[in-house]
């Protein structure tokens, strides 16, 4: 079943020719009834932050693992429970005000699109989608229906990252010509495809977990829980995990669109697992904050080349394990990930930064309080009291950029040329990876 058929069926399931989204709004004192799809590690974190908002009522919980579902539902005894999000959205369409999607990547778009077809605001975890075409489709439906949306990229609302954005846009390092970003995480798998399957745990609906992806036999330790990011059918590798977080501030601060070219240095693709080590080089058209062309280099696995002159820190200090470096005509801005203040480097030495001029509120150094901001911004936006800072209009472009780098990993050391207007590569053989067939499940 292709995407068009899936969405047609999802819309039919919703039985909603209902009221147009633009006429649907909350009164200032209304409570927000939320439904949560996916209750694994990140799903529980999302649920915890959303549910503590004083105007939220959790009314529905959905997970394909009955053990997880039972554990979480014990904390929300008034919420109805489901293992199939399609059934939940159909049965509770009139009782749900907003949907939070916290599944593995391959289910982000199918679940979010169905909810949005039903005129529901959606908070969806990063990366927004598994495929480029899905990202564009989610952006379009959000715009067409004027829906409140937010991608789950919590650091977008952190003090340190807001400050770095203001510093770059103030011209503190001049026009930026290069960004380098890195993470030592290894969401890759260079081993063989499992030759045999294992019995599916009684608690797990393996068919629903696979969702629209290609059907495979269950194998202990390979998919659920936790390892799906490494695999092509379900995740988006380290780029799709940490890359989204670390790209976010430079991408936002420099007001970038999607890249013109992408080149990935990695091992040959095996069609099953992502490479364990990648260096991705993007070339972006310039903006008012950059040189005529911006070069962006991403490293994962073993991390960045710390001996590069433009990454070396004063006094021979070590780089943080994860972070980004803005390299401009007047100096460098170093932004470790995360909850570390950005540092200005000029002529090989740190320089003081006059933060007072930016009139930011004092930083909240407690991690949980920083995280809640992003979730509560979504809730307040649904209630008409705020505006989301990472709506799908922004998140779709950032996700597209990330996913283009993932696709380039199928063509090691070959430069791919991206036509943003046509939404296709000049290299025809790469276009097959912009979308995927949806399995009927």
Cα distance from N-terminal residue to C-terminal residue, the chain: 9
The neighbouring-strand residues paired with 121 are none
Q: pLDDT tens per residue, the chain (441 residues)? A: 444 444 444 443 333 333 334 334 454 468 999 999 999 999 999 999 999 999 999 999 999 999 999 999 999 999 999 999 999 999 999 999 999 999 999 999 999 999 999 999 999 999 999 999 999 999 999 999 999 999 999 999 888 899 999 999 999 999 999 999 999 999 999 999 998 999 999 999 999 999 999 999 999 988 998 899 999 999 999 999 999 999 999 999 999 999 999 999 999 999 999 999 999 999 999 999 999 999 999 999 987 777 789 999 999 999 999 999 999 999 999 999 988 899 999 999 999 998 887 766 655 455 556 778 999 999 999 999 999 999 999 999 999 999 999 999 999 999 999 999 999 999 999 999 999 999 999
The neighbouring-strand residues paired with 283 are 261, 295
Task: Decide if 32-154 and 156-190+228-364+391-432 have a common fold.
Answer: no
Contact 149, 123 (CB under 8 A): yes
**Domain extents in the chain:** 32-154, 156-190+228-364+391-432
Contact 159, 367 (CB under 8 A): no
Residues 6+ apart with CB under 8 A from 419: 425, 426
CB neighbours (10 Å) of residue 137?
21
CB neighbours (10 Å) of residue 357?
9
In 3D space, the residue among 220, 198, 216 whose CA is nearest the CA of residue 207 turns out to be 216
- Torsion, Cα 209 116 235 267, to 10 degrees, reads 140
Distance separating alpha carbons of residues 333 and 326, to the nearest angstrom: 5
**The predicted structure's pLDDT at residue 236:** 98
Contact 266, 409 (CB under 8 A): yes
Longest dimension (CA), the chain: 65
Contact 413, 183 (CB under 8 A): no
Distance separating alpha carbons of residues 245 and 151, to the nearest angstrom: 11
**The predicted structure's pLDDT at residue 308:** 87
CATH topology classification for 156-190+228-364+391-432? Dihydrodipicolinate Reductase; domain 2 (3.30.360)
Count of all residues that appear for the chain in the document: 441
**The predicted structure's pLDDT at residue 8:** 45
Residue with tokens 């991690």: 367
**The predicted structure's pLDDT at residue 49:** 96
- Torsion, Cα 269 196 129 369, to 10 degrees, reads -110
**The predicted structure's pLDDT at residue 388:** 97
Distance separating alpha carbons of residues 208 and 204, to the nearest angstrom: 9
**The predicted structure's pLDDT at residue 159:** 86
Tokens (6 digits) for 221 = 């330790």
**The predicted structure's pLDDT at residue 338:** 82
Q: Are strands 98-101 and 122-125 parallel, antiparallel or unpaired?
A: parallel
- Sign of the C-alpha dihedral, residues 406, 209, 147, 391? negative
**The predicted structure's pLDDT at residue 383:** 97
Class of domain 32-154: alpha beta
Distance separating alpha carbons of residues 317 and 314, to the nearest angstrom: 6
């Amino acid at each position: 079943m292709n995407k068009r058929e899936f969405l047609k069926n999802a819309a039919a399931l919703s039985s909603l020719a209902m009221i147009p989204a633009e006429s649907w709004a909350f009164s200032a004192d209304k409570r927000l009834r939320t439904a949560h799809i996916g209750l694994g590690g990140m799903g529980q974190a999302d649920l915890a932050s959303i549910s503590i908002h004083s105007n939220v009522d959790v009314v529905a919980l959905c997970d394909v693992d009955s053990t997880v579902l039972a554990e979480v539902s014990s904390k929300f005894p008034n919420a109805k429970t489901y293992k199939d999000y399609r059934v939940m959205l159909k049965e509770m369409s009139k009782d749900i005000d907003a949907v939070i999607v916290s599944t593995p990547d391959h289910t982000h778009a199918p679940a979010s699109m169905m909810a949005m077809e039903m005129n529901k605001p959606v908070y969806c975890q990063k990366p927004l989608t598994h495929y480029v075409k899905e990202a564009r489709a989610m952006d379009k439906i959000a715009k067409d229906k004027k829906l409140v949306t937010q991608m789950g990229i919590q650091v977008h609302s952190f003090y340190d990252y807001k400050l770095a954005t203001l510093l770059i846009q103030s011209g503190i390092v001049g026009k930026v010509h290069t960004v380098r970003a890195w993470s030592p995480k290894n969401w890759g798998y260079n081993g063989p495809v499992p030759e045999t399957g294992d019995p599916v745990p009684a608690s797990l609906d393996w068919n629903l977990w696979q969702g629209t992806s290609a059907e495979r036999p269950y194998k202990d330790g390979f998919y659920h829980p936790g390892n799906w990011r490494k695999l092509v059918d379900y995740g988006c590798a380290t780029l799709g995990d940490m890359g989204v977080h670390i790209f976010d501030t430079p991408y936002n601060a420099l007001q970038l669109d999607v890249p013109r070219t992408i080149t990935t240095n990695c091992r040959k693709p095996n069609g099953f697992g992502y490479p364990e080590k990648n260096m991705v080089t993007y070339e972006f058209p310039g903006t008012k904050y950059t040189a005529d062309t911006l070069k962006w280099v991403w490293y994962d696995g073993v991390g960045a080349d710390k001996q590069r002159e433009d990454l070396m820190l004063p006094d021979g200090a070590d780089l943080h394990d994860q972070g980004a470096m803005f390299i401009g005509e007047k100096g460098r801005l170093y932004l470790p990930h995360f909850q570390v203040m950005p540092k200005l480097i000029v002529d090989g030495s740190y320089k003081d930064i006059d933060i007072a001029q930016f009139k930011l509120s004092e930083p909240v150094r407690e991690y949980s309080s920083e995280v809640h901001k992003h979730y509560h911004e979504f809730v307040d936006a649904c209630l008409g009291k705020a505006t989301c800072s990472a709506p799908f209009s922004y998140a779709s472009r950032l996700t597209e950029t990330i996913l283009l780098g993932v696709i380039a990993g199928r063509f090691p050391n070959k430069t791919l040329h991206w036509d943003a207007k046509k939404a296709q590569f000049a290299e025809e053989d790469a276009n097959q990876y912009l979308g995927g067939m949806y399995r009927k499940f």
